[in-house]
Amino acid sequence: MSKSPQKHSENDDDSNKFLLGVVEGFYGRPFTSEQRKELFKKLKRFGLQLFVYAPKDDCKHRAMWRELYTVEEGEHLQGLINAAKSSGIDFYYALSPGLDITYSSLKDTSSLKRKLDQVSQFGCQKFALLFDDIDSEMTKPDKEMFQSFAHAQVSISNDIYNHLATKINCLNFLFCPTQYCSSRAIPTVTESEYLNTIGQKLLPTIDVLWTGSKVISKVITVKDIEEITEVLKRKPVIWDNIHANDYDQKRVFLGPYSGRNCELIPLLRGVVTNPNCEFHANTVAIHTLAQWSRCNSQVNTDSISDIKLETENEDCDDSPPNYLSENMYHPRVALKNAIRDWLPDFFEAKKAFGPMLKPQPGSALAPIIPPIIPKINTCMTLTLTTTSATNIAPMPEVNTAQLHALADICSNVQTEALAKVSVMNSLVSETKVVTTASISAPISSSIISETNLEIRDKSPINVTVDVMEVEKASTEPSETGTEEAMDCGTPKHTLSDSSSINSEPHHKDETEVPQNVNGNTAEKSQLSDDVVMTESVNEQETMQEDSLSEEDKCDPINYDDILLLCDLFYLPFEHGKQGLMILNEFQWLKTNAYVLSGSKNGSNPENTEVQEWFERSKEFFKLCEMVLTLMKKIALCVNRELCYDLYTYCWEMANVVSICDSYVQWLALGHFPSNSNSYIQGSFTWFSKGWKETFMSGDQEPWIFRGGLVVDIQRLVPIDSGNDLFIYRLPETPTLNFFSVRPYNNLDESDIYKICHKTCRDGSDCTDLFPSNLQQIASDRLVAPFITLNPEFCMVVENMKKDIVGYGFAAPNAKHFYRSQETLWLPIAREKYPLTMLDSPDITPAAKDAINWFHNFKYECAPNILIQYPSIVHCSILKEQSHLDSSISKRLMCVLLSSLRTSGSSGCHVILNKSDKYLAEVYGRLGFTEIYHEDTKLILGRNF
């Protein structure tokens, strides 16, 4: 039996030691110095022994690799090296010069040596040269000097290694090739001239990094390792990207180390894991890697595969099989162990600065346009467990050939061409941004254009940006809308969500240089030292924590909460157990809801299928509540650093889960046609034939399936072309102000009337427009027809205290709705507001218009509008509440449109007064566009 890598004697030569640790090699905001020091202690405690300093966007690692460290930067770097030594961790310093190096240039070679010599003076004795994600085309001088690209890299790497070995006795040196995985080997691993040259010419004492079959490999097999070992003439060090999330801002990976059989250990020189960008999200990744490294390969060889063990326990508890040896690695068991070790971190009091920013680059490494634009963005039919599921449309099949072809293209895209423009200086401050204006050989202008970067001064002076001020300025709501008198000539539909006016994603590119930062122009900022963002706890957040009501408080986060968190954000090629439960249950409830059609609230005690539906809906509601509670507990976490790392992910998950929860509540009413399944079937979802299999296969890079579980749930929401309704502005600080949507009931009428009164004048209160005895006339005109004639398509918005703060109403067929209004509602309204009221001395112009509207109503709408946009909607949210949750207007619209879609509609319109500038812009943010206008009337519509 082979021994664990951690059981080597301390006196063993380093060249024989199994390398095991972390490489900080991701794109985006680097770790801070304090986080790295904390990481060293964790590595030691878990049993790992090395750290590779290689943050892609740390300025002097890659973009400005020639520049020496300043005295201040040197002190910080030396402090890191000393902290690593104190913790017993080997510190590897890496440089990535490949962006602009001329391999034949003596000046560049001297710059490399000078830079590494400087770092060696700080106490570092282990180094790495990284040539990943660069253009393989050589410069003209290099072509004249070297036989090939590989010869150029080998020449300079051997020279640097010999220099360091002679000067400081450096015997530990890592090399990352440009073809660093099988999918990038040209044409194949064994036939690659580049890799064969590396294997033959690179000094045998230099270790080579390798990511496996892909950039992010689901599985690394013995065959893969034996193949690359033969080519490289040495055992590879695996640079493992399984937990790296810098390519997708909606995903963080909290699942266990998986897909690497323990038989690999004796075949490898070592493993370094490239973690999540969020520092506090990496305990599971590091902890489970350490557990994997200690497993016994002989026992594992004779056992059943990890994948089979996972499947075996899918429908029961997570306990390992009785025959599982303690020396055998089981991912789910390892996850449990890691969670127990991670739990205390949630209770460690730490401060954080604000606002929350996604650490991943705004312009991701993979194509930013979704690889597949489905015609229909809804779910597919699931194989049902009920015996009566007969009203199901046939399941379309995913075009897997198209998907494979697209994956091949995306996998071979040069990642550097899509890399982030800005770099940072984490040795001094995690908030210091350096733009390309200060880089001697910046990334091409086309990339700058892609990230909407505006450089206003191209002088070579450093330009830095206060990220906090830029983000704060970018999220201030626009001042739109005026308090004009309500024109009662047409129905008024208000949606008072001021935040929606600026509801694009909150994570803007950090390199954007504002014309005015802290009162100074960008040009003036160049004349001073780097600007550092103030690191202080947000006052608003502190006040929020101090003023929590009893309803807001909850039990502290526990093991089960963290297990749910990990299941929701699992691994690149698989969702966790509880995440899959949400997907499966929502799909089942939606697909089988037809059994409720036509029944009052779907209740039928004698129908077992109906009862099964309601039983499963209760379990689904519990799952949704668990997700919302998890978000709340993360928001209240005393470790604010950890909270800031994880809250945005939980918030995004809670948003999409709350939409599903609201939609299932509406389904439970049974107010939809029996053939509703024919309206909600679609393509490219988790349940489409071939989609799940392609996702889990590992044959494509995971950025082909952007968004993870959040987007897989989103695609099940039964609206087509609704992606814009899932783009939210992230909250600046963790908040408990989360709103929910539910179906309307008769007890809500008085609250609805109040909200309509407060918002019906282009989002503002209308009290002064009407005399005291006619204060309800606006509500009787705008909301009463909906709640009287179509209450089944009425939704209300509640805050955390269950107070109603908004509503959304709809009618599937506007023509039928207004005909019914004429015959059923208007006679009642005319009795309540007779024409004799016009003679009252207190009557106001707005009241006159409203009374005349009741008595002279005539609905006229162009036939072509009703064909393409047959439904009508009317929504409103209190301004003072809507700014607390920037997503609520879109979530309300999602639920409303889903109910219309289930009823057979695929288009809706809203009628506004032409003077409603504020509302027109708000609805524009919700995907509505102008389809008709006249002197006083404006009609906006959207398809879904």
State the catalytic residues. Answer: 133
Cβ pair 695, 687 in contact under 8 A: no
In angstroms, rounded to a whole number, what is the distance separating the alpha carbons of residues 20 and 200? 26
For residue 187, whether the previous peptide bond is cis, meaning omega lies within 30 degrees of 0, is: yes
Cβ contacts of residue 48 below 8 Å, gap of 6+? Answer: 20, 21, 22, 89, 286, 289, 290, 293
Query: Which residue's structure tokens are 């206008």?
Result: 933
In angstroms, rounded to a whole number, what is the distance separating the alpha carbons of residues 927 and 922? 9
Cβ contacts of residue 225 below 8 Å, gap of 6+? Answer: 235, 236, 264, 267, 268
Q: Encoding tokens for residue 155? A: 């020449």
Pairing of β 270-273 and β 423-424: unpaired
In angstroms, rounded to a whole number, what is the distance separating the alpha carbons of residues 624 and 706? 22
Cβ pair 790, 817 in contact under 8 A: yes
- Give start and end residues of each alpha helix (H) in 210-313: 222-232, 283-293, 297-301, 306-312
Q: DSSP assignment, residue 30?
A: P
In angstroms, rounded to a whole number, what is the distance separating the alpha carbons of residues 299 and 759? 69
Q: Which helix (H) or strand (E) holds 273?
A: strand 270-273
Q: Which helix (H) or strand (E) holds 660?
A: helix 640-667
Cβ contacts of residue 138 below 8 Å, gap of 6+? Answer: 103, 146, 149, 152
- Cα distances from 595 to residues 335, 606, 667, 717, in angstroms, run 40, 13, 10, 19
Q: Comparing C-alpha atoms, which of 784, 555, 649, 705 is closest to residue 281? A: 649
Q: Encoding tokens for residue 226? A: 């034996």
Radius of gyration (Cα) for the chain, nearest Å?
31
Cβ contacts of residue 744 below 8 Å, gap of 6+? Answer: 752, 787, 791, 794, 795, 796, 807, 809
Measured in degrees and rounded to the nearest 5, phi and psi for residue 742 equal -145, 165
Cβ contacts of residue 520 below 8 Å, gap of 6+? Answer: none
Maximum C-alpha span of the chain: 105
Q: How many CB atoms lie within 10 A of CB 23?
A: 28
- Give the amino acid at 333: V
In angstroms, rounded to a whole number, what is the distance separating the alpha carbons of residues 612 and 906? 30
Q: Can you give the three-state secondary structure of 305-340, one letter per residue?
A: CHHHHHHHCCCCCCCCCCCCCCCCCCHHHHHHHHHH
- Give start and end residues of each alpha helix (H) in 727-795: 749-759, 777-782, 784-789
In angstroms, rounded to a whole number, what is the distance separating the alpha carbons of residues 415 and 511? 19
Cβ pair 900, 668 in contact under 8 A: no
- Give the amino acid at 146: F
In angstroms, rounded to a whole number, what is the distance separating the alpha carbons of residues 509 and 362? 5
- Residue 839: strand, helix, or coil: helix
Cβ pair 83, 40 in contact under 8 A: yes
Phi/psi region, residue 810 (left: phi>0; alpha: psi -120 to 50; beta: rest), is beta
In angstroms, rounded to a whole number, what is the distance separating the alpha carbons of residues 247 and 245? 5
Pairing of β 937-943 and β 907-913: antiparallel
Q: How many CB atoms lie within 10 A of CB 319?
A: 12
